[in-house]
A and B are shown apart, each in its own frame.
Chain A
């Protein structure tokens, strides 16, 4: 019985690993050779902790100069639940005369649980650095061999080109649509009947009233597709509802036309012709869709 108790107790003692604050710890480093002066070396530290334990960001090395030949350019910590990914980016500035072994210094990551703090050490990492230049210096006509200046870059014009193309396309599309509305294209004669009538009306005086009335009748007929009479106006409105807004003027036109052609002693005044032109003008606006 005593032996059994001792065994149970010793097993409990072994199970301390369950209480380990860190369940996974790994330092990922790239190849340890083939670096040259000015190269960047990334290092990733992955830590998975038990719940309630957090990383103390202050224990990570600070961005900036670590020693004479080593800089730490970037420190990023990504936390995903209890998993931490610490990305460090070192940069080496060292000019060796031959392949030289160097060491990234190690440090201790502090993890805290309440007031307690646990350290996990990141080991130092050795790598080799190669020279870029031969030992016996190459000479040119100007003296020491140097890499030349970087030629000044030309200004990029892609953005302006995109702007130019986009604005031109939009302008052309809008212009085409307006052209359609104003019937500027050939083969759109049904949208230009009042336009043509107006043009002809402009040259007429009150003495040419007969011609003027005929012109407007012709325009209405061609819009209707067949001769339009006053008693068929309801049919016309059903097919062309937008002309309802000039119904009073249309009624006046038929009434006036009737009186002019079929009653005697009709005296034409200039105002009548003007009214006819106004009517035609309104019809033109409806025709091109601006009313």
Chain B
């Protein structure tokens, strides 16, 4: 998933989709990348008014009207935008039944201020198989159009089109990058075998990746979103495998006797950390892809597993039972300065960092059940986010505002998302799919 050179970052294009800059523009864009950056900064600071300060602790939701677009699939596109923005949690979408203005009529602020809308989205869609949508965002108090943009996309990938629009609107209103085009890689069970799957962050467009092996563990994304790394048991051996989405190829990067379980990528994508019991002792290792160099970082008679490199690449959180029970520890990348992070409870595992290195989300056992907690890397601010059933495999969304996890609540095993404060827990996988081990794509 490459980044586009424009102001917005392109969506998840693991299927090698063409980027949206025309080639001439693209050439210009690359030449003027720096200027673009300047412009983007200016546009958020000087030009765009930030309607919702989502960094503020007390957020007033913005009342927004999202009108059915006129033309092909107009309702569906508007619904996708509405669902995205509603889930983000900073918007209050006004019921369409209250709208006075028809979707074909021109924007008139008076029609909207009376129903309390502070922002209005209107759009038109043309085309049959290839759709062109023109979308406008209006500020009702200033009585003007503040954003207008044209989008093109195949009707078959209409959800992607809707998510792209939602991303732009979210960015315009909050000043931050949206996550509506992101994906989730996860493990699900099919015919008694576990396989890897991907889906959109909202649980749609589920696809099974055709990889072998009876068992597979949760995947980890490279920070550019082009690859995932995971462990799989094949032929009586646990190996570590790398799947490249740009080529749709899989390659074994490490295997040996004993247990080998992949951790995550380093920020530059050239290294992964993993745990292995290949020798007599457990150890955490670093594998560098560019020269295939494997470096042993720790060596332990006890269990050491689940290494998680921090997004800044400086620290590693991992699980060790050196103190008699599994607890989370933090050390430097070189294995030095190890300190224990968790002290509450007798079972704390599965650490994962927030994108800004500020929090670690993990699983702790409370009364025999697994619950999700967050904690600061200095050990302060421990907060429990779930309290019923078993909840496992947590990790943050790329903007750090959400946490994705698996849960066996109500007897099924599915994937859920919630806000990073534990609010709005919602299942995103369908009831017929037993799913676990989700990881949110970085872009």
A binds B: no
B residues in contact (CB < 8 Å) with A? none
Question: Which residues of A are interface residues toward B (Cβ below 8 A)?
Answer: none
